[in-house]
Structure 1
Amino acid sequence: MEHSIIFDFLNSILLQIPGLSKGPLGSANPIVKGMIPSAIGITFIAIGLNLFNAIIKRKMVDHDKLRRLLKETRAWQKERMAAFRSKDQEKIDELSKKSAYMNKMNMEVMQMNMRPMMITFLPLILIFYFVLPPLFSYTVANSPIPLNFIPGDFFQLTCTAEKVASQPQICKHVNDLYFWAWYFLSSASFSGIIMRLTKTTMDLS
């Protein structure tokens, strides 16, 4: 999975932590009216922020070096797993001698990916809290099925019947998608495409 998708997921989790948000993000009287314009607007914002992330990553990361490190570490992991499956103890011992070196390279890969994320994290949070909420309603689309796969109220993407009854000013219909959830889904959908277009993907194929 691309690190940016993981970042979007963690970002979405972070937005639900009590104290970081004064209730669901959005507005009862948004500047952008209607679900279709709102959904399209958020999709374009998600694409724009993905492009911003990709450009920062392109400028800050040596992608030739990153791919070389990834190729070497993944080849070692694949060879090691094959040795374990075949119970080739001699090969396992030989590959284990490289463990410290491979761990060092994995740490370097992680640091290379974290560097641009440290630059983009603060702007994304500021946009979420100060730019997007006045523009869009609490919900901006309707899902044909519920998307609340994680039990409890901590990470809900769609409105439940209980929320429609208790928070009618926020949830109008069951399975309405919260605006931050639509952003998360849009961002995840376009992230891989944008990374391939900007040649910032970690896919070695």
Structure 2
Amino acid sequence: MSYLDFILNPLISLDPNPSNPIFTIFIIATLIALFIVVLQKVLIDYDKMHELQAEMKQLQAEMRAANQSGDPKALAKVQKKQAELMPKNMELMKMQMKPTFITMIPILIIYYGMIGNYALSHVVINITASQYYLLLIPIWNIFWTQSNPLTINFFGWYILASFAMSFLFRRIFNIQTM
């Protein structure tokens, strides 16, 4: 029994296969991914972020050149420039962390509500041996059930769907982090 059953059970009843609600988990992961990407788009100034990243990259190149030359004046100049960029770098980190802090609590509430729902938490997706290696499950095996490696459980499916939809929404909203 989950505190979100009043929301989740009607969603599960709309699933084409309510006894194994893969589609419901996909829809929830998609909505959460959309929420996170929209929040990032609104809260992060990507032009400023890219500008600062370019400055930091240039500073690193200057630092390497100053270290290779062994010139103490050039090294001092680069260190001074680095000290001037530190407040900007802290501002950038705050800007990037704000969406994370805002979304953390609602996502945990939804996730633990999904775990508490019997139908969702007992989802099993059977995969073939080729899919097992294609999905790199030997590397990411912590997300999948251990009893049968050719199945994906609730958490594994949620993670796969969430990553895929986040990638898609980032492309749609033209968000390039690096």
The two structures share one fold, judged by TM-score above 0.5: yes
Name the SS of the counterpart of 2:142 in structure 1.
coil
Aligned partner (choices 8, 16, 19) of residue 33 of structure 1: 19
Confirm whether residue 193 of structure 1 aligns to residue 168 of structure 2. yes
Name the SS of the counterpart of 1:112 in structure 2.
helix
Structure showing greater radius of gyration is 2
Runs of 4+ in 1 over 6 A off after TM superposition: none
Alpha carbons of structure 1 residues 159 and 106: separation in structure 2 relative to 1, 3 Å = same
Report the alpha carbon displacement of residue 128 of structure 1 after superposing the two structures with TM.
0.3
Residue in 1 aligned with 2:4? none
Q: What whole-Å deviation, never above 9, does each CA across 1:72-93 have from its counterpart, x for those lacking one? A: 2233224434554xx1223444
Q: What whole-Å deviation, never above 9, does each CA across 1:90-137 have from its counterpart, x for those lacking one? A: 344432222222332221111001111111111110110114642514
Aligned partner (choices 130, 149, 159) of residue 145 of structure 2: 159
Residue in 1 aligned with 2:29? 46
Taking structure 1 as the reference length, what is the TM-score of the superposition? 0.62
For structure 2, list consecutive stretches of 5 or more residues without a partner in the other structure.
Answer: 1-11
Aligned length: 154
Name the SS of the counterpart of 1:136 in structure 2.
helix
Aligned partner (choices 60, 63, 70) of residue 43 of structure 2: 60
Alpha carbons of structure 1 residues 196 and 81: separation in structure 2 relative to 1, 3 Å = farther
Contact 1:43/1:186 (8 A) holds in 2:
yes
C-alpha distance in structure 1 between counterparts of 2:124 and 2:60, whole Å = 43
Taking structure 2 as the reference length, what is the TM-score of the superposition? 0.69
The structure in which a higher percent of residues are helix is 2
RMSD across aligned C-alpha pairs, in angstroms?
2.8
Aligned partner (choices 77, 85, 89) of residue 70 of structure 2: 89
Confirm whether residue 123 of structure 1 aligns to residue 123 of structure 2. no
Name the SS of the counterpart of 1:156 in structure 2.
helix
The AA in structure 1 aligned to 2:69 is D
Contact 2:114/2:121 (8 A) holds in 1:
no
Name the SS of the counterpart of 2:143 in structure 1.
coil
Contact 1:46/1:187 (8 A) holds in 2:
yes
For structure 1, list consecutive stretches of 5 or more residues without a partner in the other structure.
Answer: 1-29, 165-172
Alpha carbons of structure 1 residues 96 and 116: separation in structure 2 relative to 1, 3 Å = same
C-alpha distance in structure 2 between counterparts of 1:126 and 1:48, whole Å = 14
Report the alpha carbon displacement of residue 176 of structure 1 after superposing the two structures with TM.
1.9
C-alpha distance in structure 2 between counterparts of 1:139 and 1:147, whole Å = 17
**Percentage of pairs with the same residue:** 26
